[in-house]
Amino acid sequence: MKPLFALALAGLACLAAAQPSQPASAAATPTQAQPQPDPNVSASARRLYERSKGQLLQIRTLLKNQDSQASVGSGFLVSDNGHVLTNYHVVSQFALEPDSYRLRYATTDGQAGALELLDFDARRDLALLRAVADDKGVNALQGRGALGFRPQSQPLAKGERIYSMGNPHDVAFAVVEGNYNGLVERSFDPLIYYAGGINPGMSGGPVLDEDGRVVGVNVSTMLFAQQVSFLVPGEFAESLVKRSLGAKPIRTAAWSRLRDQLTRYQDELVTRFLATPWESANNDRYRLPVPRQDFMRCWGRSTAADAKGLDFERSQCRMDHALFVSGSLQTGWLDMSHEAYDGSKLGALRFSRQYTASFRNERLGGADKSRTAPYCKEQFVGMSPPDAGEPTSPPGGAPVARQSRSGPGDGLPLRAVVCLRAYRKLDGLHDLSVLVTTVDDARQGALGRFDARGVSFDNALKLAAHYLEGFAWTSSSKAK
């Protein structure tokens, strides 16, 4: 399956369908054909669909002055007054560019109308909409009823059957049976693991229990996997509905509202990350920063058979999920890796060439429509300057190390590059990249990289310092 909005981390993709390939005239009435019952679908699924189809909607983002659709998702009614819940990523184009886009809904029985945006929660990928009223203050969705939420006091049991609804690939409304498998492990925010095959176009659709109560909202699926999908827990959707039913429509670009939400989120993320001690990488020479896997996952590999004398170990840790900003930008995640090299079987010159080439391979990105070009600062830390007349590098090319009382860890000499890219429309937020290489030996070394997306300047400084302080000699190597 080709994703429209890839989260670019662990094979995840949001479930909004891309602009269709058929002509706009054909796309303007996508819900006229009623779905035919699938003989393989259970009686429970058919019963639930018949009960809830009146509250099920397709949500489309259209160009302002024509019927060409930019994205398609799903939604459902949460009040008898025409309030609709969906994903933020389904309506993000309208939220950020209301002068270029508009929102429309379509019901299972072929009715259609305009929608307005009342509020959104970018962290949970949720948005609350309302059907636009006529001159008499009445909208066409009033009186169609609403889906209720399952009480939090009645948690689901693992393996319990639940039912996802939506309009996959702008084809027709559908119901998909699956199983509740608890919450995703090592996720920063709660996310339901749903064993069911949901598809693009179903974003924002409801997931119901056997009694027709909302337990979650379709949000994403794992690429190159079968029956692995994810839902926003219903409690967050219910919370947004309760606090924003009386909100006034958002008429202007919502960048400042989005920035405030992302700023609060990154403060919480950084605070929790900084409070977590580093784990051991089990390297004989270096103490390397490896995070605890509370909300990150780590993978590793070691020397390939054809390494030609260069031994190395690699570890990479990252968050699985990101926060959706737009189709070209995701943020709110951490990623780090390190490589430890042992070139004792090589000469100093050969080791230096390969070690230097690995450091130069790192890419920091360039200016784009969302972010500025990176501004970088390079410095040697944890080492004192050479005396006059002393050589600054051995034959291999690495600087001669001189331990200093300041710097990371216990004075392990490092070459560090710290870069920031500012967000153009999210004032005060930046992407941070830190590149590190040890420079204490001509035949051994370690390279590290740390990335944080969407952090404040102050938090970027704290994260960079925390990462650098994670490098040190091991007790045994320091004693030697």
One DSSP character per residue, 5-62 reads: SB-SSSSEEE-PBPPPSS-HHHHTSTT-SPPPPPTTS-HHHHHHHHHHGGGEEEEEEE
Average pLDDT, the chain: 85
The residue among 420 and 35 whose pLDDT is bigger is: 420
- Least reliable range by pLDDT among 14-23, 45-54, 403-412: 14-23
Q: Using pLDDT thresholds of 50, 70 and 90, give the confidence band for residue 15.
A: low
Q: Are 86 and 100 in contact (CB under 8 A)?
A: no
Task: State yes or no: pLDDT of 399 exceeds 80.
Answer: no
Copy the structure tokens of residue 464.
Answer: 């960079």
- Which ranges of 77-175 would DSSP assign to H, the alpha helix? 88-96
**AA identity, residue 119:** D
Tokens 């337990």 map to which residue?
Answer: 215
* Rounded Cα distance, 417 and 346, in Å: 27
Give the residue extent of every domain in the chain. Answer: 12-253, 259-479
Q: Which residues of 339-362 are buried (b: 16+ CB within 10 A; e: fewer)?
A: bbbbbeebebebbbebbeebbeee
* Rounded Cα distance, 215 and 232, in Å: 9
Task: State yes or no: pLDDT of 441 exceeds 60.
Answer: yes
Residues 6+ positions from 310 with CB-CB distance below 8 Å: 303, 341, 342, 343, 345, 346, 351, 354
382 φ/ψ sector (left φ>0, alpha ψ -120 to 50, else beta): left
* Rounded Cα distance, 28 and 48, in Å: 28
Copy the structure tokens of residue 315.
Answer: 């570890």
Neighbours of 256 (CB within 10 A): 12
Quick one: pLDDT at residue 156? 97
- Kindly report, residue by residue over 303-329, the tens digit of the pLDDT: 654 556 778 888 999 998 899 999 999
Quick one: pLDDT at residue 309? 73
Quick one: pLDDT at residue 447? 94
pLDDT > 70 in the chain, percent:
83
Task: State yes or no: pLDDT of 273 exceeds 50.
Answer: yes
Q: Using pLDDT thresholds of 50, 70 and 90, give the confidence band for residue 225.
A: low
Pick the CATH number of 12-253 from 2.40.420.20, 2.60.320.10, 3.40.50.720, 2.40.10.120: 2.40.10.120
Measured over the CA atoms of residue 96, residue 424, residue 332 and residue 299, the dihedral's sign is positive
* Rounded Cα distance, 349 and 391, in Å: 16
Tokens 């006529």 map to which residue?
Answer: 134
Q: What is the DSSP letter of 97?
A: -
Quick one: pLDDT at residue 462? 98
Task: State yes or no: pLDDT of 120 exceeds 50.
Answer: yes
Q: Summarize the confidence of residues 156-165 as an average pLDDT.
A: 96
Quick one: pLDDT at residue 203? 95
* Rounded Cα distance, 215 and 395, in Å: 65
Quick one: pLDDT at residue 368? 94
110 φ/ψ sector (left φ>0, alpha ψ -120 to 50, else beta): left
Task: State yes or no: pLDDT of 377 exceeds 90.
Answer: yes
Task: State yes or no: pLDDT of 82 exceeds 60.
Answer: yes
Q: Using pLDDT thresholds of 50, 70 and 90, give the confidence band for residue 392.
A: very low
Neighbours of 337 (CB within 10 A): 19
* Rounded Cα distance, 433 and 36, in Å: 52
Q: What is the DSSP letter of 197?
A: -
Quick one: pLDDT at residue 258? 98
* Rounded Cα distance, 89 and 16, in Å: 7
The residue among 351 and 35 whose pLDDT is bigger is: 351
The residue among 361 and 296 whose pLDDT is bigger is: 296
Q: Using pLDDT thresholds of 50, 70 and 90, give the confidence band for residue 222.
A: confident
* Rounded Cα distance, 360 and 26, in Å: 51
Q: Using pLDDT thresholds of 50, 70 and 90, give the confidence band for residue 138.
A: confident
Task: State yes or no: pLDDT of 94 exceeds 90.
Answer: yes
Q: Summarize the confidence of residues 407-431 as an average pLDDT.
A: 89
Task: State yes or no: pLDDT of 33 exceeds 60.
Answer: no
Quick one: pLDDT at residue 383? 54
Give the helix/strand (H/E) hosting 445. Answer: strand 444-455
Quick one: pLDDT at residue 67? 85
- Kindly report, residue by residue over 362-373, the tens digit of the pLDDT: 888 899 999 999
Task: State yes or no: pLDDT of 83 exceeds 50.
Answer: yes
Nearest to 71 by CA among 16, 11, 108: 16
Give the helix/strand (H/E) hosting 115. Answer: strand 112-121
Q: Using pLDDT thresholds of 50, 70 and 90, give the confidence band for residue 361.
A: confident
Q: Using pLDDT thresholds of 50, 70 and 90, give the confidence band for residue 301.
A: confident
Task: State yes or no: pLDDT of 353 exceeds 90.
Answer: no
Task: State yes or no: pLDDT of 331 exceeds 70.
Answer: yes
**AA identity, residue 378:** E
Which residues, in sequence order, are bridge partners of residue 62?
69, 102
Quick one: pLDDT at residue 364? 87
Task: State yes or no: pLDDT of 394 exceeds 70.
Answer: no
Copy the structure tokens of residue 435.
Answer: 């590149």
* Rounded Cα distance, 241 and 436, in Å: 46
Copy the structure tokens of residue 86.
Answer: 């969906």
Neighbours of 430 (CB within 10 A): 24
- Least reliable range by pLDDT among 83-92, 285-294, 399-408: 399-408
Task: State yes or no: pLDDT of 96 exceeds 90.
Answer: yes
pTM: 0.85
Q: Are 427 and 446 in contact (CB under 8 A)?
A: no
Nearest to 56 by CA among 197, 199, 172, 223: 172
Neighbours of 469 (CB within 10 A): 15
Quick one: pLDDT at residue 37? 45
